A and B are shown apart, each in its own frame.
Chain A
Amino acid sequence: MNFLRSIASNLLKGPLPGDAGGEGAPAEISDAELVDRCKEGDYGAFDLLVTKHRGRVYAMIQNMVKNEADSWDLAQEVFVKVWKALPRFESRARFSTWMYRITHNAVYDWMRKRKMDVAGDLDDNLLDREAIAAGAHATPARVSRPDEALSQGEVRANIENALEKLSPEHREAILLREVQGLEYKEIADIMDCSLGTVMSRLFYARKKLQTLLINI
């Protein structure tokens, strides 16, 4: 009787060991100093900058894009763009604001391209990642009853749901202000709009969130 003899070693392909880990990313070295070193070609300094800021960049993208796979790629793209644009960065400006601006542009470009993809002549069902790709977020809608105390998870789900119902501009304004804690002027710089527009977006986004999350 024929039978197979095989040796299988289950080696999970894990991440490649990083050269410069996040530990010990010194808080005492300022962004400005790291940027200056980067401009001199010091990739190690850039690696420290990435470690320091990747959490916020990734969170910002993930909260807008709601897809881990795309968020990872976009975050990579953002930092590549940051590296390439560093020679033009004026050190007087705040690095994080500038980096958020690049993030904003990358996210909106991605959103525009997604709209273009769906308009193609291929089967939308096949290419719609939200419908097909495993791991895509699908937060269920829930009608809350006032007499029910919502659990932590339910609160989170409701908030995520509500954020998704905002337009991208309103969602971004809320995330930058309420979550990232940025000043209005910074938000205006990042979103490339006037201060008045930021105020208006925050005003309406807050109103809408309050309506959607009336039971929280």
Chain B
Amino acid sequence: MKNDRKEELLTRWMDDGLSANELKELEPILASSPELHEERARFLHLRKKLCESVPREIDPPFPDYFNSHLEKLVKAESKVPESEEGLGAFTAFNRRWLWWMAPAVTCAVVFAFLLGMKSAQSGDTSSRLVDSGASSEVYSPLTNVSTQVILDGDSDSTLLVVEGLAPLSDSDLALSAGFFDGRHGYYVNVKETY
């Protein structure tokens, strides 16, 4: 019997998928290799374990968002290419951080105001909500990292205070090289990577 045919018959035999004639065709092979019966029994047991361990269906993380985001993508696909707000937002999509929310201890969306007030009780009119339109979102995949975003109304800058980062050592900063300004960076093609 040709190898291809043998492989086909054995595969279908494992699946109980042989006709009476095909079973007769396989009988000489089974007779000469009785261990095949044991192999089959072991495989059926393995298949059961496989089905128990490997899920047939897994709902993607944030399933509602999956659908709504997909709708945005679909609509964007049918838009004119150079839309003002299309800058990589959809076609170079990367929302990997979404499912890092689960293990993160703190994900902070913060609207904060006024730094450096001398008195907490004063009805100081310099307290004001600053830059509410530029809401920022911070995520960390590390459970020990927490963040706080602070907007400094006086100097119009933003500070992100991060707690829980591992300290760095001299060797990390390659101290022997000294600290000099210069061009050092590079680019990764988002579309290819993502």
Nearest residue (CB) in A for B74 is A83
In the complex, the answer to whether A73 meets B111 with C-beta atoms within 8 Å is no
How many positions in chain A have a CB within 8 Å of any CB in the partner chain? 73
A46 to B77, CA, bound (A): 15
In the complex, the answer to whether A15 meets B64 with C-beta atoms within 8 Å is yes
Nearest residue (CB) in B for A63 is B54
Chain B residues whose C-beta falls within 8 Å of the C-beta of A196 in the assembled complex = 4, 8
Contact with B along A1-24 (1 / 0, CB 8 A): 011111111111111111111100
In the complex, the answer to whether A54 meets B66 with C-beta atoms within 8 Å is yes
In the complex, the answer to whether A18 meets B99 with C-beta atoms within 8 Å is no
In the complex, the answer to whether B8 meets A199 with C-beta atoms within 8 Å is yes
Q: A68-B61, A134-B141 are in contact. Are A59 and B113 (CB under 8 A)?
A: no
Report the interface size class on chain B: 35 or more
Partner of A80, one of B65, B74, B114: B74
Question: Which residue, of B14, B66, B77, has the highest number of chain A Cβ atoms within 10 A?
Answer: B66
Among A27-35, A97-105, A173-181, the stretch that binds chain B is A173-181
- B144 → A minimal CB distance (Å): 12
Q: A6-B112, A203-B7 are in contact. Are A54 and B54 (CB under 8 A)?
A: no
- B28 → A minimal CB distance (Å): 18
Chain B residues whose C-beta falls within 8 Å of the C-beta of A134 in the assembled complex = 100, 141-142
* 6 A-B pairs with C-beta separation under 8 A: A10-B106, A15-B62, A73-B94, A76-B66, A84-B77, A203-B7
Instruction: Enumerate the 7 nearest inter-chain pairs by beta-carbon distance, A residue then B residue, closest first.
Output: A15-B65, A18-B64, A55-B57, A134-B141, A69-B96, A15-B62, A6-B112
A interface residues (Cβ-Cβ under 8 A, vs B) = 2-22, 43, 46-47, 50-51, 54-56, 58-59, 62-63, 68-69, 71-73, 75-76, 79-80, 83-84, 113, 116-117, 122, 127, 133-135, 155-156, 159-160, 163, 174-175, 178-181, 196, 199-200, 202-203, 206, 209-210, 213, 216
